[in-house]
Amino acid sequence: MKNILPKSELLLKKSRPIDKLSTDEAIFLMADEQQNAALEVKKASKSIEHAINQIYKHLSLYKKGRLIYVGAGTSGRIGVQDGVELFPTFNWPLGRLDFIIAGGNKAIIKAIENAEDDIKYAVDEVKRKSINYTDVIIGLAASGDTPFTCKVLEESLNKQALTIAISNNPNGKILNFGKVKIILDTKEEVVAGSTRLKAGTAQKICLNIISTIVMAKMGRVKNGYMNELVVTNEKLRQRKKKIDKEIKKLDFEKD
């Protein structure tokens, strides 16, 4: 049986190759493709809404349940980028946040050979982190077929965790292990196989939406302000004063 590559591995055909374009043509092409990534997120709005509602219910029900991001390579780094902002922005407890990255923490800044194929490490990490029914696992895979990420979600599903599978491939295997499935069908890239581009943009927008709205539902946004902002420097001290002032003002006007 012939292996069919995910479209993210293929070259964008509606334009000449990027290295054959003038600089201004290349800029406009890439900007247009980034807009298309956002459109794919809009198309997935119903499944994203379902994910938000399920995550909110789960984290509200299980007061010690964790939000755990899972991925390999670019997808793993995008998960980390979203997750690490939850404490400073929303004061989400660090004990309720975690990451499982192919190749471990060192893979965040350096590509680790064969890490995305290491399903043994995936199984070991699920055991080591004691993933259970109280947890929410968000797995991201541009190809949808990354063995490491698929295995973490499969093992987590077997542990009765709430699994969210995000794939840029409508036929991705990862979707088999998601209680909630989100498809961001971004198709071919300007540089074939470079999913740090359109696929990565769609994943980041999707995670921004999910985490922000979940945090808002958890009461960590008030009147559009970061009412739980963690103050760590002078700039943030001034911002917190302004936020508290604006919230009090809006509450007073409402009364």
- Give the torsion sign (CA, 179, 184, 187, 193): negative
Q: Answer yes or no: are the C-beta atoms of 104 and 132 closer than 8 Å.
A: no
228 is catalytic: no
Alpha carbons 200 and 24: distance in angstroms, whole number: 23
Point out the catalytic residue in the list 9, 40, 49, 85. 85
Q: Where are any strands of DSSP class E within the chain?
A: 67-71, 97-101, 136-141, 162-167, 180-183
Q: What single letter denotes the amino acid at residue 228? A: E
Ramachandran assignment for 104, one of left (phi > 0), alpha (psi -120 to 50 degrees), beta (any other): left
Point out the catalytic residue in the list 116, 125, 188, 189. 116
116 is catalytic: yes
Alpha carbons 57 and 51: distance in angstroms, whole number: 10
Ramachandran assignment for 8, one of left (phi > 0), alpha (psi -120 to 50 degrees), beta (any other): alpha
Alpha carbons 91 and 166: distance in angstroms, whole number: 25
For the purposes of burial, counting CB atoms within 10 Å of the CB of 143, is it exposed (0-12), middle (13-18) or buried (19 or more)? buried
In terms of Cα–Cα distance, which of 48, 30, 76, 11 is closest to 205? 48
Alpha carbons 118 and 176: distance in angstroms, whole number: 19
Q: Which residues are designated catalytic? A: 85, 116
